[in-house]
């Protein structure tokens, strides 16, 4: 595989990874702007803009956008995150110019037709309702809000029905002009692609994007606290969060190793003890989400109301215990998992462009595989333990509990004992 990078005079970065054995190509545009970049009166506008990009341009109707890509057997999609928004396609190698034309068209010439806007606002309101009806999604909305209170990073990416319906074409254009700037944009392509040809297409089709980088979002602050919501459900849903580390923190990989040992798979401590040994839950897992300036360690479990307190005690004990007793075999196992994940991602052109684009946005360059593997290999038992201890010692915990039962408040109180241990 061969990774090439070119930065155009406008500031747009083009990164490609040629995979000559493929007949197809994945390509997309990543913008270093997401829900964190929304002002107070713009809650949900990033996600609405992503939807509206597909609803017609000066040259194409919404139907034509879909039909032109699908007529050549391709597909087109997008996703909004806290710190970036992605628009991407997968096509056969002969249709790479078409895909780039469509992607540039939907970003540079969106029509924002009023009737289309009203329809899409209604679609997103339905999406918001779907989350509200899905407790293992809703619990993370609550958790994010508690972890990052009174700031964009803590708000739902979807917005609220009221905010989504408040936007018009003028507000969408203002947001687009302010945040979709060439220095904040990465065009990534992998598979059956030629770097020079992609660069030439991007230079021609994305010429309207120029100017300096968009404004930086406000710094994030991990808050913490508790939210208990009583709701008639079959299970009690529990989510915890602790202040993690940013993408640039030297302990990032050690914390990921700690996270995986604790709750990263079927062999993890929490899965084995909570599910396999005690039968307290069906689903339990941990994750670490690093952002540009902060991170969030999270844990989720769903359990019966009668088992809530026992499960929470187990979780608190296991987090504290893991930070002191991670073993050499456990570290070796999760390091193998982490390296396998990096290597498996290389086999998919779609995974590859996402990885390359995120690296360009976060670090300004693609990170060679050997460098990533070296960072994983550098994790030791002591560094993993230290990352776990530091996680607890930061002293702020966010807890969200959703369901029915008399033990919800006591479960939340048990969770709070975790950070008191480190005090």
Q: Please give the C-alpha separations between residue 324 and each of 44, 153, 154, 327, in angstroms, as whole numbers.
A: 41, 31, 31, 9
Q: Is the C-alpha dihedral spanning 161, 167, 169, 174 positive or negative?
A: negative
DSSP-derived 3-state class of residue 298: strand
Q: Is the C-alpha dihedral spanning 372, 202, 34, 86 positive or negative?
A: negative
Q: Which residues of 54-85 are buried (b: 16+ CB within 10 A; e: fewer)?
A: bbbbeebebeebeebbeeeebebebbbbbbbb
Question: For the sheet containing 295-303, what is the strand order?
Answer: 225-230, 397-403, 236-243, 295-303, 281-290
Q: Up-side HSE of residue 17: CA atoms within 13 Å toward CB?
A: 24
User: How far apart are the C-alpha atoms of 170 and 45, rounded to whole Å?
Assistant: 12
User: How far apart are the C-alpha atoms of 343 and 336, rounded to whole Å?
Assistant: 11
Q: Up-side HSE of residue 389: CA atoms within 13 Å toward CB?
A: 9
User: How far apart are the C-alpha atoms of 242 and 240, rounded to whole Å?
Assistant: 7
CB of 231 closer than 8 Å to CB of 402: yes
Residue where the block lists tokens 């500031």:
11
Residues contacting residue 162 through CB under 8 Å, at least 6 positions apart = none
Closest CA relative to residue 5, chosen from 359, 322, 312: 359
Q: Please give the C-alpha separations between residue 331 and each of 262, 264, 272, 318, 342, in angstroms, as whole numbers.
A: 11, 12, 16, 16, 17
- Token pair recorded at residue 410: 């006591």
Catalytic residues: 50
DSSP-derived 3-state class of residue 373: helix
């Amino acid at each position: 595989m061969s990774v090439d990078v070119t930065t155009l005079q406008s500031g747009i970065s083009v990164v490609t990874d040629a995979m000559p054995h493929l007949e197809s190509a994945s390509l997309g545009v990543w913008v270093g702007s997401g829900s964190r970049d929304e002002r107070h009166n713009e809650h949900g506008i990033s996600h609405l803009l992503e939807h509206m990009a597909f609803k017609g341009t000066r040259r194409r109707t919404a139907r034509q956008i879909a039909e032109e890509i699908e007529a050549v057997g391709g597909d087109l999609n997008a996703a909004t995150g806290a710190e970036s928004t992605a628009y991407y396609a997968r096509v056969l190698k002969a249709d790479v110019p078409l895909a780039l034309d469509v992607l540039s068209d939907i970003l540079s010439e969106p029509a924002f037709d009023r009737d289309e806007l009203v329809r899409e606002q209604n679609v997103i309101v339905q999406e918001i309702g779907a989350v509200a009806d899905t407790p293992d999604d809703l619990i993370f909305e609550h958790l994010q809000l508690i972890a990052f209170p009174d700031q964009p990073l803590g708000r739902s990416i979807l917005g609220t029905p009221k905010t989504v319906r408040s936007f018009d074409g003028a507000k969408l254009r203002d947001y687009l002009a302010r945040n979709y700037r060439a220095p904040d944009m990465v065009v990534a392509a992998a598979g059956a692609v030629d770097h020079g040809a992609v660069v030439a297409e991007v230079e021609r089709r994305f010429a309207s994007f120029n100017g300096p980088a968009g404004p930086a979002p406000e710094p994030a602050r991990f808050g913490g606290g508790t939210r208990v919501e009583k709701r008639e459900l079959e299970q009690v849903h529990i989510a915890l969060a602790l202040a993690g580390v940013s993408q640039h923190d030297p302990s990032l990989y050690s914390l990921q190793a700690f996270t995986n040992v604790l709750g990263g798979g079927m062999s993890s401590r929490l899965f084995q003890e909570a599910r396999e040994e005690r039968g307290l839950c069906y689903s339990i897992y941990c994750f670490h989400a690093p952002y540009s300036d902060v991170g969030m360690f999270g844990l989720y479990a769903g359990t019966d109301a009668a088992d809530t307190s026992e499960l929470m005690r187990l979780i608190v004990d296991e987090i504290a215990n893991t930070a002191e007793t991670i073993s050499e075999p456990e570290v070796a196992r999760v390091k193998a998992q982490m390296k396998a994940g990096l290597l498996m991602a290389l086999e998919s052109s779609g995974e590859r462009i996402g990885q390359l684009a995120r690296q360009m946005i976060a670090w300004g360059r693609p990170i060679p595989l050997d460098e990533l593997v070296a960072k994983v290999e550098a994790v030791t038992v002591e560094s993993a333990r230290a990352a776990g201890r530091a996680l607890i010692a930061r002293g702020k915990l966010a807890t969200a509990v959703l369901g029915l039962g008399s033990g919800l408040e006591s479960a939340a109180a048990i969770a709070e004992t975790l950070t008191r241990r480190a005090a």
